[in-house]
């Protein structure tokens, strides 16, 4: 332990010396660095619309996306699909109604805002007690991680080769 603290003190002293070294008469040039401009995201110039028909369980979670209509913008389609899988549909008092819903996304190019609308299509469904799509994805991910952890790694001594010794040039 004493050896560790001695080394740590030596390293910190050397780093302080290295930081202070330019002030001992060495000429240093300060280079001016111009900040990089931040690129603005490309926003679509046309209105976009996607809609999804989803099954909602008794807690208001999306269980499954039954169908969907996509826009001509693949990025907007992916973003709205990811959003609809994670959303909850509940009443203002926090209660939820099992059923089939339509979720619509409309992008306004003049305001750059997206409006999300929800409409109830039918009440009830055999998916009332099913887990949400997000829970299902998390469980699949956990199973995949566990499966990859159980794959045995090769013995280190079999894959390591001895480090070659450097030979001086004559």
Mean pLDDT score across all residues of the chain: 84
DSSP 38-97: PPPPPPPSS-EEEEEEEEE-TTSBEEEEEEEE--S-HHHHHHHHHHHHH-B---TTS---
| pLDDT at res. 21 | 53
Q: Return d(Cα 109, Cα 128) in angstroms, integer.
A: 37
Looking at the chain, the whole-number percentage of residues with pLDDT higher than 90 is 57
- Asked if pLDDT for residue 3 goes beyond 70, the answer is no
| pLDDT at res. 4 | 45
Please write the tens of the pLDDT for every residue from 24-58: 555 667 778 888 888 878 889 999 999 999 999 99
Q: Return d(Cα 96, Cα 103) in angstroms, integer.
A: 15
Task: Please give the distance of CA 104 from its chain centroid, rounded to a whole number.
Answer: 24
Structure tokens given for 106: 């409309």
Mean pLDDT, residues 126-132 taken together: 94
Whole-number Cα distances in Å, 80 to 33, 63, 125 = 39, 16, 24
Min mean pLDDT across 4-8, 31-35, 106-110, 156-160 is at 4-8
Looking at the chain, the whole-number percentage of residues with pLDDT higher than 70 is 84
For 110, residues 6+ apart whose C-beta sits below 8 A from its C-beta are none
**How many CB atoms sit inside 10 A of residue 24's CB?**
7
Please write the tens of the pLDDT for every residue from 155-166: 888 888 888 888
Name the 3-class secondary structure at 8. helix
């Amino acid at each position: 332990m004493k050896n560790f603290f001695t080394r740590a003190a030596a390293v910190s002293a050397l780093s302080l010396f290295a930081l202070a070294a330019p002030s001992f008469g060495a000429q240093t040039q300060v280079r001016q660095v111009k900040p990089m401009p931040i690129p603005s995201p490309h926003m679509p110039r046309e209105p976009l619309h996607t809609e999804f028909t989803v099954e909602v369980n008794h807690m208001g979670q999306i269980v499954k996306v039954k169908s969907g209509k996509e826009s001509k913008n693949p990025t907007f389609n992916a973003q709205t699909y990811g959003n609809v899988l994670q959303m909850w549909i509940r009443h203002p008092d926090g209660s939820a109604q099992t059923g089939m819903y339509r979720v619509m996304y409309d992008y306004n190019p003049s305001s750059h805002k997206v409006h999300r609308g929800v409409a109830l299509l039918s009440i009830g469904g055999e998916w009332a007690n099913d887990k949400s799509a997000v829970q299902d994805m998390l469980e699949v991910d956990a199973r995949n991680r566990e499966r990859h952890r159980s794959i045995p790694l090769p013995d280190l001594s079999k894959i390591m080769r001895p480090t070659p010794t450097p030979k001086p040039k004559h």
